Amino acid sequence: MSSKKNGRIYRTVKFRLVLWYATLFTVVSVAAFFLVYVTLNYSFQNIIDESLRSMFKDVEDHYRSEGSVGLHNAIAEKAKNIGEDRVFFRLLSSRKEVLDASDMSAWRWINFQSVAPGPVSKGRNDYYQTLSMPDRPYSVRVISRWLDDSRFLQIGHTLEEDEKFIEQYRQISGIAVAVSLLCGVLTGWFVARRAMSGVERVTETAVRIQSGDLTHRVPLRNEGQEIDNLALAFNDMLERIQALVTGLKEVTSNIAHDLRSPITRIRGMAETTLTGEESLEDYRETAGMIIEESDRLVGIINTMLEIAATDSGATHFQMDEVDVADVVQEAYELFEPVAEDSGVSLSVDCPDGAILVRGDIRRLQRVFATLLDNAIKYTLPGGTVLISAKHNQDKVSISVVDSGVGISKDELPHIFERFYRSDRSRSTPGSGLGLSLARSFVQAHGGEITVASTPGQGSTFTVLLPILT
């Protein structure tokens, strides 16, 4: 698609794959045909040389047993049988004078000057040559060898049949290489189309998403593990982005709602102070309320920033050895008067001895304070709240159990979300950020926080932290 867009087809993977396949097919087929060609040439030459040697032996035998007459008859007969235009025989003296020969009329184009064996001193080695004949399309293979009496015999054989065959083979090879090139292009195009279709679908989906349709997903077509994995990873990423965008929208609307109310209240108070004729005492009271609301606003904004910074890993944690048992005990002591004021019975159950974790004591204190604060806040007078700690070798679990109003099944998955407050808790003070912050802190400690609750019977919040070993 982008290739069409920017008009540079040679930059596309498809084009490159086609080129690769075409080149590969062509190179392989040319190499294969060349190998066969060389082998054919070599075999033909071996065959013809073998036949020349055998003819030589025959003629030489006649010469040895019957002398010049026997040789003359033998070469005349052989030339006639094989064909005088296909084979020739020549007997020469050491000074290269022709002493006898078959009918040479078909061979008059050969430059016989160059046809000679090596010096006699070099022994009876065969001397082979392939000669091209001017004005004749085919070559001739010639064997020359010294005889016993310092004469030498030459036998030549046309290569017409072999060369015709090789020529046909070359033509067929040319066609085959062209066909192979075409196959390479087609295969490359087919492979590229198949391999790229998944990628193109991902691109298509990305383009649709750019136009605002976040619900679109890459269809899975079982085209191979890698493509499926790409599509799955892309779909997962989209799922996450969609969740983030939805979350962002929710947070934005929550912020708008949760910050607007206090600001409106502050404005209302300031307006009443401006327009009404109040006593100094009233003005002071209103100013105090404005400061209180403003502090609440600043608190909400600071908490929001803290959650965002913790979640993104930007917060600096002062990690030390912390005795969780101590922190639990202190939290209990801190909240005992608050519980008493609310008519709730608060108790603690912590094993003797230190339970050490690696953590930021200030942040851990805030986590337990949030849980205790909520437990007391959402428990009616006469109810109970218990904070307890127990541990095994790896983990310590700190639970805050209350006999309060509980949380409905529908609300349970949302209570850790930023600004989430159940309808029932709207009458109680709070920002809906406490549990979000607590969860961010616990996760930053490598732990987790869970909740179990039965409406009307109470809730249990549990924090699991890794123990320092």
Residues that bind ligand ADP (CB under 6 A): 370, 374-375, 378, 402, 404-407, 415, 420-422, 425, 430-436, 459
Paired strand residues for 140: 131, 158
Q: Which is nearer to ligand ADP, 325 or 400 (CB)?
A: 400
**Cα Rg for the chain, rounded, in angstroms?**
51
Paired strand residues for 321: 358
Compute the least distance from the CB of residue 439 to ligand ADP, in Å.
9
Compute the least distance from the CB of residue 278 to ligand ADP, in Å.
32
Q: Which of 145, 161, 159 is nearest to 110 (CA)?
A: 159
Compute the least distance from the CB of residue 368 to ligand ADP, in Å.
13
Across 162-274, the runs of DSSP E, i.e. the strands, are none
Query: Phi/psi class of residue 333: alpha, beta or left (left: φ > 0; alpha: ψ in -120 to 50)?
Result: alpha
Q: Which is nearer to ligand ADP, 205 or 431 (CB)?
A: 431
Q: CB of 84 within 8 A of CB of 107?
A: no
CA distance 416 to 462: 13
DSSP 83: -
Give the DSSP H/E element, type plus range, for residue 334.
helix 324-342
Compute the least distance from the CB of residue 404 to ligand ADP, in Å.
5
CA distance 335 to 453: 22
Q: Which is nearer to ligand ADP, 75 or 405 (CB)?
A: 405
Compute the least distance from the CB of residue 396 to ligand ADP, in Å.
21
Q: CB of 367 within 8 A of CB of 438?
A: yes
Shortest-Cβ-distance residue relative to ligand ADP: 430
3-state secondary structure of 385: strand
Q: Which is nearer to ligand ADP, 361 or 376 (CB)?
A: 376
Compute the least distance from the CB of residue 225 to ligand ADP, in Å.
43
Compute the least distance from the CB of residue 285 to ligand ADP, in Å.
26
Q: Which of 72, 102, 62 is nearest to 86 (CA)?
A: 102
Q: Which is nearer to ligand ADP, 189 or 420 (CB)?
A: 420
Q: Which is nearer to ligand ADP, 102 or 436 (CB)?
A: 436
CA distance 331 to 337: 11
Q: Which is nearer to ligand ADP, 143 or 415 (CB)?
A: 415
